[in-house]
């Protein structure tokens, strides 16, 4: 058996995984910081916990570890530009990333995207180093949810939208037997 899949093999296969897109944000002594992240998932409902995997080389990683709080904001279709901005595509860093979008302050002090599909305001419960990334586990102190909006999805190396389900085809009528 091969020792491990190559990074390229791994990435090519992982691109088929359709993921919701989030902005993970924090605020500390050096101001606000945040990044676009798809490596987020629910950990448990009781206690309410989630986890997010953040590259150790990124500025937001250091900021989250120091501030011990973060907010996970679930993006909708209208947030594509924001997703690119917080992924570094426009070249802006740190506080400057927050010049776009409607931002408020959550109870923990972390920045919250006012019109996110949902937001999870967290205090840091655990930080586990694994290879290039840190797994940040958050205790969810507050969860807010919008009633409208369609999620932004990342799949196949690009942003996608959920397709509306095809209408069910009418079942073929068979002629009544005589």
Ligand X SMILES: Cc1cc2nc3c(=O)[nH]c(=O)nc-3n(C[C@H](O)[C@H](O)[C@H](O)COP(=O)(O)O)c2cc1C
Binding site for ligand X (CB under 6 A): 21, 35-39, 53-55, 58-60, 87-88, 93, 154
Q: What is the dihedral sign for C-alpha 142, 145, 49, 22?
A: negative
Question: Which residue number, 107 or 162, has a Cβ lying nearer to ligand X?
Answer: 162
Closest approach of ligand X to the CB of residue 8, in Å: 17
Question: Which residue number, 59 or 66, has a Cβ lying nearer to ligand X?
Answer: 59
Question: Which residue number, 95 or 107, has a Cβ lying nearer to ligand X?
Answer: 95
Closest approach of ligand X to the CB of residue 32, in Å: 11
The CB-based long-range contact list for 77-84 (8 Å cut-off, 24+ gap) reads 77/149, 77/150, 77/151, 77/152, 77/161, 78/115, 78/149, 79/21, 79/23, 79/113, 79/116, 79/152, 80/152, 80/159, 82/23, 82/113, 83/21, 83/23, 83/36, 83/152, 83/159, 84/36
Closest approach of ligand X to the CB of residue 55, in Å: 4
Closest approach of ligand X to the CB of residue 72, in Å: 11
Question: Which residue number, 55 or 144, has a Cβ lying nearer to ligand X?
Answer: 55
């Amino acid at each position: 058996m091969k020792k491990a899949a190559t990074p390229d093999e791994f990435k090519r296969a992982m691109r088929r995984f359709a993921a919701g897109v989030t902005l993970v944000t924090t605020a500390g002594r050096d101001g606000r910081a945040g990044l676009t992240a798809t490596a987020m998932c629910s950990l448990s409902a009781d206690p309410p916990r989630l986890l997010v995997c953040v590259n150790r080389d990124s500025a937001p990683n250091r900021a989250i570890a120091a501030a011990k709080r973060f907010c996970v904001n679930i993006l909708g279709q209208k947030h594509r530009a924001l997703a690119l901005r917080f992924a570094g595509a426009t070249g802006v860093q740190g506080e400057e990333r927050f010049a776009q979008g409607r931002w408020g302050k959550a109870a923990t002090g972390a920045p919250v995207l006012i019109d996110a599909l949902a937001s999870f305001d967290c205090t840091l419960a655990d930080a586990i180093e694994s290879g290039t990334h840190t797994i940040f586990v958050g205790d969810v102190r507050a969860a807010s949810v919008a009633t409208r909006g369609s999620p932004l999805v990342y799949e196949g190396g690009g942003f996608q939208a959920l397709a509306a389900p095809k209408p069910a085809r009418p079942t073929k009528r068979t002629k009544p037997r005589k």
